[in-house]
A and B are shown apart, each in its own frame.
Chain A
Amino acid sequence: MIRNLLPLLLLCSINCFSQKYISNDGEITFFSYAPIEDIKAVNKKVSAVYNSADDNIVFQLNINDFNFRKKLMQTHFNENYLESDLYPQSTFIGKVIVLEGDKAKVKGMLTIHGVTKEIEADGTLLKNNESVKILSEFKVKLEDYNISIPTIVMYKIAEEILINIEIALNYSQ
């Protein structure tokens, strides 16, 4: 009897396996609004995986992939502030804790600059069978992640950075 059931069970397991949505080209943009200068950088190579079965969600990006308009800023960002040679990646590992219609709340551990902190963020999660679109905006404090700003550039870099996420994930086998 088991032998007869086996294909069915396998089929079932495949079904369960296929509730993941994956993206490798998500966009995360950050903004720093300071008295002297507004800074913006965008990363278009963000990876994300969302499992609609258990609402787990992860993001990962390479710090090196952030693009600035001024390349010198990009150098300073990598060399002096985020130290991307020591901490090449940033990750978020979390769970969608509230999902009412499109409105979602996500909670999890965000790692930047080697420091992991629990965060909560509100956003939008648009789901259909083929894809999931995730939009969110939240703030992080530089000091929470041990990113120190010398007093000489205090007026150029904001203490709180606005982070904008826009990712379209595709249904994956």
Chain B
Amino acid sequence: MKFNLFFIICMLYSNIGFSQDELLSLIDDKSSEYSKYVFKGTKVVNSASVEMPDAGVLQFMIQHRFGTLNSGFYNFYGLDNSQVRMSFDYGLNDRLSVGIGRSSSLKAIDSNVKYRLIRQSKGVQTFPLTICVSSSIVFKQYLTSNSENNNFLFSNQFSYSHQILLARKFNRQISFQLSPTLIHYNLLPIDQLVHDLYSLGYGARYKISNRISLNIETFSQFNSENNVNPLSFGIDIQTGGHVFQFHLSNSAFMIDRAFIHETYDLWSEGSIYFGFNISRVFTLKD
């Protein structure tokens, strides 16, 4: 009986005195923590990453690719040749972005849309991957003289690219991305046999400091003829308002279909292209 009384008084006492830690435990954290900033830029090196401009943000990007490093002093090791892709990407909301770009040497206009299905998260909702779908359409302009050919169709100038982007941020340094890709050509390139080409992209980044990351990207092709797999290395440097990206790649191109299926240069021969991207963001809408 005495023990019971003592016990009850103890209970009572413990209820009166709330320690600060107990107060803290009363805060039930219902939120899920999303893994953000999987990559620094909207591109791993050449191909799309799961990142996109934030809602209401316009990203202007200038991409340069020079000639090959083995082209000799006369061509200043490739720096004399350059091609450019300029693009605008805009975040319509937190999940959807659209973009448009123009590649100089390919004479191609491309337009893309990226949609994030789900985000890697832990907490109340746990999901291991960030998943996006990305599609682009490329309009490769032909010369007027081509269009006088009887066989010429306007739609010959189009090709399409569809990707599923599966990314995981393992820790603050390391992220990895798989990109199953389908490219459809309306008009076959001269060395291809089928209209639909399948490939799988691998991308990864390693953050060496808060502002600098190293990236690597390659694609393996399943049913493409003659061309080689692209292999690219990049370094992303984030400054106040810009992201600078420097690359070395055996592909000179900046749109999906071209760097995946139209690459013929070999790293082993030193046919390596130096390139860089500069991107700047503008907040258009709060």
Report whether B12 and A54 are in contact in the complex, using a CB–CB cutoff of 8 Å: no
Which residues of A sit under 8 angstroms from B19, Cβ to Cβ?
Answer: 56
Contacts A2-B4, A85-B172 hold; do A58 and B20 have CB atoms under 8 A apart? yes
Interface residues on A, range: 35 or more
Report whether A83 and B24 are in contact in the complex, using a CB–CB cutoff of 8 Å: no
Q: Is B124 in the interface zone, CB < 8 Å from A?
A: no
Q: Is B211 in the interface zone, CB < 8 Å from A?
A: yes
CB within 8 Å of A: which of B5-53? 5, 8-9, 11-12, 15-21, 23-24, 26-27, 29-31, 33-37
A7–B54 alpha-carbon span in the complex (Å): 58
Measured CB to CB, the closest approach of chain A to B146, in angstroms, equals: 43
Which residues of A sit under 8 angstroms from B143, Cβ to Cβ?
Answer: none
Report whether A16 and B27 are in contact in the complex, using a CB–CB cutoff of 8 Å: no
A48–B31 alpha-carbon span in the complex (Å): 15
Report whether B281 and A72 are in contact in the complex, using a CB–CB cutoff of 8 Å: yes
Report whether B31 and A49 are in contact in the complex, using a CB–CB cutoff of 8 Å: no
Which residues of B sit under 8 angstroms from A72, Cβ to Cβ?
Answer: 54, 57, 241, 281, 283
Which residues of B sit under 8 angstroms from A2, Cβ to Cβ?
Answer: 1, 4-5, 8
Measured CB to CB, the closest approach of chain B to A79, in angstroms, equals: 5
Which residues of B sit under 8 angstroms from A146, Cβ to Cβ?
Answer: none
**Nearest opposing residue in chain A for B24, CB measure:** A58
Instruction: State how many residues of chain B have any CB contact under 8 Å with chain A.
Output: 40
Which residues of B sit under 8 angstroms from A78, Cβ to Cβ?
Answer: 36-37
Report whether B210 and A79 are in contact in the complex, using a CB–CB cutoff of 8 Å: yes
Give a binary string over B48-87; 1 marks a CB under 8 Å from any A CB, 0 the rest.
0000001111000000000000000000000000000000
Which residues of A sit under 8 angstroms from B18, Cβ to Cβ?
Answer: 20, 51, 53-54, 56
CB within 8 Å of B: which of A74-90? 74-76, 78-80, 83, 85-86, 88
Which residues of B sit under 8 angstroms from A83, Cβ to Cβ?
Answer: 172, 210
Interface segment, A62-70, A125-133, A135-143? A62-70
Report whether A71 and B54 are in contact in the complex, using a CB–CB cutoff of 8 Å: yes
Report whether B26 and A22 are in contact in the complex, using a CB–CB cutoff of 8 Å: yes
Report whether A60 and B15 are in contact in the complex, using a CB–CB cutoff of 8 Å: no
Partner of A88, one of B4, B12, B33: B33
CB within 8 Å of B: which of A8-49? 9, 12-13, 16-17, 20, 22, 24, 45, 47-49
Measured CB to CB, the closest approach of chain A to B19, in angstroms, equals: 8
Closest 10 CB pairs between A and B?
A: A71-B54, A47-B27, A49-B23, A16-B16, A80-B210, A58-B23, A13-B15, A13-B12, A85-B172, A70-B283
Selected A-B contacts with CB under 8 Å, 16 pairs: A2-B1, A2-B8, A9-B9, A20-B23, A24-B30, A51-B23, A53-B16, A53-B18, A54-B18, A58-B23, A58-B24, A62-B33, A71-B56, A76-B238, A79-B238, A152-B240
